[in-house]
Amino acid sequence: MRVVITGAAGQLATQVIQFLEQGHEVIPFTRAQLDITDLAAATTIALLEPDLIIHAAAMTNVDGCALDPDASFRVNALGTRNVALGAQRCGARLLYVSTNEVFDGLGEEPYWEFDQPGPLNVYGRSKLAGERFVQQLVSRSYVVRTSWLFGGDKPHFVSKVLRLVDENRVLRMVSDEIASPTYAPDLAQAIVALIQTDAYGVYHLVNDGGCSRLEFAQALLTMAGRSDVELVPISLAEFKRASTPPHYSVLRNFAGAQLGVVLRPWPDALADYFRRVR
Ligand SMILES: NC(=O)c1ccc[n+]([C@@H]2O[C@H](COP(=O)([O-])OP(=O)(O)OC[C@H]3O[C@@H](n4cnc5c(N)ncnc54)[C@H](OP(=O)(O)O)[C@@H]3O)[C@@H](O)[C@H]2O)c1
């Protein structure tokens, strides 16, 4: 299979490329090589005649999105339209990576693929607009929602917390933002399994279970042997930032599970991350 990948230098894409390179022709595009906000990106992609496009490029700085909504929609919505147009022109299948932040987070039960989105913030609204372009323009498409990625080559929550405790014995952590931590290599493997099927549609691919930022930090500090660090719970309202994340956005993988595409519980994935980095 010939596979084009956008956002190729990103945390997730680098993992997907590693899995796909065994057995497929992979054509990775970094932002420098292909800016998806350029309408010509559609032609560039179509001329390559891929069988599949994995669209992982995005403006992922959620606070940056809140501060610059135009940029957020230019990349996440219109940029995704350009990639979808490329897929449409050459008849390629398309996998788009989306987010837990398409939900309002007012629920108390995990969101499954059939729940209505209702994003609260610019990032979530722009990613949802991207989902809609994909669904309108490409019938053979997968929308894969995920959350709280860690374990890739770029800085992520786990590496950032560990860096913070180099200088601080006390950390303030949010206790009322709850979602599903997801190990980037596990998600990459699940995506590679999903694209072997023709079961198009929406998927929630996250490591199983959910926790607050505080519980995630507690778990990772214990596994890192840093139980000496004191964690002080704070609320989302006390944590001043440009973007407001949903309070509760744990995702339930229902559709993927029907195909046997399942991810292990997040604490097991976190333990594996620490085994690998040591
Ligand atoms: N990280 C998470 O916790 C998380 C959670 C839920 C969903 N997601 C979704 O998962 C996907 C992958 O996320 P990630 O964590 O791997 O993100 P990432 O590390 O930020 O990678 C995204 C990549 O997209 C590139 N990009 C940005 N604007 C672009 C443009 N105009 N044209 C082409 N490329 C552009 C970025 O390049 P530069 O580095 O040069 O800007 C970056 O390499 C995204 O769709 C994201 O929305 C992520």
pLDDT band at 167 (very low <50, low <70, confident <90, very high): confident
Q: Convert the pLDDT of each residue in 96-154 to its tens digit.
A: 999 999 999 999 999 999 999 999 999 999 999 999 999 999 999 999 999 999 999 89
**Per-residue pLDDT, 9:** 97
For 2-154+181-209+250-264, give the CATH class: alpha beta
**Per-residue pLDDT, 110:** 98
**Per-residue pLDDT, 278:** 80
- With 0-12 / 13-18 / 19 or more C-beta atoms within 10 angstroms meaning exposed / middle / buried, residue 23 is exposed
Ligand 1 atom closest to the CA of 97, numbered from 1:
45
Angle (nearest 5°) at CA 30 between 36 and 41: 25
Q: Convert the pLDDT of each residue in 212-253 to its tens digit.
A: 999 999 999 999 999 999 999 999 999 999 999 999 999 999
**Per-residue pLDDT, 10:** 97
C-alpha 258/C-alpha 24 separation (Å) is 25
Question: Residue 83: is its pLDDT beyond 90?
Answer: yes
pLDDT band at 75 (very low <50, low <70, confident <90, very high): very high
Which pair of structure tokens corresponds to residue 255?
């559709």
Give residue ranges with CB within 6 A of ligand 1: 6-7, 9-13, 31, 34-37, 56-60, 75, 79, 97, 99, 127, 146-149, 154
